Amino acid sequence: MSDRKKKSGKPGGTPGPEGVDAPDAGEAHEDSASASASRTDASAVDSTAPEPEGAGGNAESAAVEEAPKSQTVLREILESSTLVVIMAIVASLAIGGILIVFADEQVREAATYFFARPGDTFSAMGDALGSAYSAIFQGAVLNFNADTFAGMIRPFTQTLTMATPLIFAGLGLGIGFRAGLFNIGAQGQLLIGATLGAYVGFAWHLPWGIHLIVAILGCALGGAIWGFIPGFLKARTGAHEVIVTIMLNYIALNLVAWLLTLEAFQREGSDNPITPIVDETAQYPLLLGSGFNLHWGFVLALACAWGVWWLMERSTLGFELRAVGANPHAARTAGMNVSKGYILVMVIAGALAGLAGSAQVLGTEKVLTTATAGSLGFDAITVALLGRSRPVGTIMAAILFGGLRAAGPTLQVQAGLPVDIVFVIQALIVLFIAAPPLVRSIFRLPAPAHEKEVAA
């Protein structure tokens, strides 16, 4: 490229008519045999024309680099996966809107006499969309109808509360993904972590402060043990982690179901499979006082996110893990211990999933049941993928999903819509994220990378 520019620079010295340049441009065209190349070349020629003599060389090349640079920045923004992610969310909400319209009873009722009075249908559609999106906003971000400031911001704190377990588990899964392990086992790891933590929480009675720490460590340990098993099997026997972790999810669920039939895990005088409430000393303290559910687990989750960032980006171990993920054979050849890497990744991921369990049993729910894990372990996979396995991305994705979950009750109660809409929107987001070209073509975003003919 630079070679060619110099070439065109020379004749630029003579303030000649276009005719002089023409053969040169033609030559370039032949050289590259590509339309795009000739176009850039032509613009380079144009810009050189008014340039005074002598100054030619340096100033000109600087100018040439300057102009595309600003373009590149813009293009990078447009091409960036972040924009695709945001647009995927927008598209999902829009499609969700279509479903909302059809799920609404008034719309369906009005649609039966659409041709008699179409206005009814449209106003019903407008009402449905308005109430649905305002319910989502009021449920997840700000409630304008509240009388007090606390009431107004409560939804957002609820979003953060819902996001907490997803951050923990998503971080753990993200580490696995970057190390090349597709860990499906967050569900089981979470459940075992929650079991151990909850047991410490209700069966042991320790002093304030120590109790919480021990219970948190219990959660992490439980998850770590459940993560160690597939890591160890993968490292030693080559057993595929996807299959092993899925199976361990079932084992964890049934193990917990069995434990909950034991007296030791049940409340006194009751046979229901639900543990006693964990001691207050073992619960995460509330972060913003009793009016909010947000607890210190959220802060711990942020701290873990920083820790994961440091581990993966700054530490030697993180470099090794990433190397293992990129190419295990090369990593082995370079003298890295791949087996150790697999085990470590699964143990860390398990511990983080266990901490997600702590957000449930020591934070919001305070009891253990077979339903403790909900679908958190699987939602966390989506969160990690949506966040591109990076800590900040995971936090953002978790907050997004937490918000959608937090909006569920208002969506149902206020707007009278089925909560399934939330899951459809979540699923659509995943669908769009998985197909970036689809999003780009919908929003006419330039394609990424090397082919630069798009602009013009």
Residues found near another protein in the complex (CB under 8 A): 106, 109-117, 120-121, 139, 158, 162, 254, 257, 261, 269-274, 277, 293, 360, 364-367, 369-372, 374-376, 405-406, 408-410, 412-414, 416, 418-419, 423, 441-442, 444
By C-beta, is 346 or 376 nearer to another protein?
A: 376
By C-beta, is 330 or 413 nearer to another protein?
A: 413
Residues facing 286 on adjacent strands: 295
- Cβ atoms 172, 321 nearer than 8 A: no
Separation of alpha carbons 324 and 180, rounded Å: 7
Min CB(389)–another protein separation in Å: 24
Contacts (Cβ under 8 Å, ≥6 apart) of 179:
321, 322, 324, 325, 341, 342, 345
To which residue do tokens 């809107």 refer? Answer: 97
By C-beta, is 56 or 418 nearer to another protein?
A: 418
Separation of alpha carbons 221 and 226, rounded Å: 9
Min CB(426)–another protein separation in Å: 11
Min CB(370)–another protein separation in Å: 8
By C-beta, is 97 or 418 nearer to another protein?
A: 418
Please name which of 395, 390, 398 lies closest in space to residue 429, comparing C-alpha atoms. 398
By C-beta, is 214 or 367 nearer to another protein?
A: 367
Min CB(304)–another protein separation in Å: 19
Min CB(314)–another protein separation in Å: 34
By C-beta, is 337 or 414 nearer to another protein?
A: 414
By C-beta, is 198 or 347 nearer to another protein?
A: 198
81 C-beta neighbours (distance < 10 Å), count: 13
Separation of alpha carbons 205 and 172, rounded Å: 30
Helix/strand number for the chain, H first, E second: 19, 0
Min CB(220)–another protein separation in Å: 20
By C-beta, is 14 or 261 nearer to another protein?
A: 261
Min CB(357)–another protein separation in Å: 12
- Cβ atoms 446, 78 nearer than 8 A: yes
335 C-beta neighbours (distance < 10 Å), count: 7
Please name which of 430, 456, 375, 451 lies closest in space to residue 91, comparing C-alpha atoms. 430
237 C-beta neighbours (distance < 10 Å), count: 9
By C-beta, is 444 or 450 nearer to another protein?
A: 444
Min CB(328)–another protein separation in Å: 36
User: Which parts of 197-272 are beta strand (E)?
Assistant: none
Contacts (Cβ under 8 Å, ≥6 apart) of 297:
164, 284, 355, 358, 359, 362, 363
Contacts (Cβ under 8 Å, ≥6 apart) of 32:
38, 41
- C-alpha distance across the termini of the chain, in Å: 19
232 C-beta neighbours (distance < 10 Å), count: 17
What tokens does 76 get?
Answer: 């990078």
By C-beta, is 320 or 365 nearer to another protein?
A: 365
Min CB(243)–another protein separation in Å: 20
Min CB(363)–another protein separation in Å: 9
What tokens does 275 get?
Answer: 């543990």
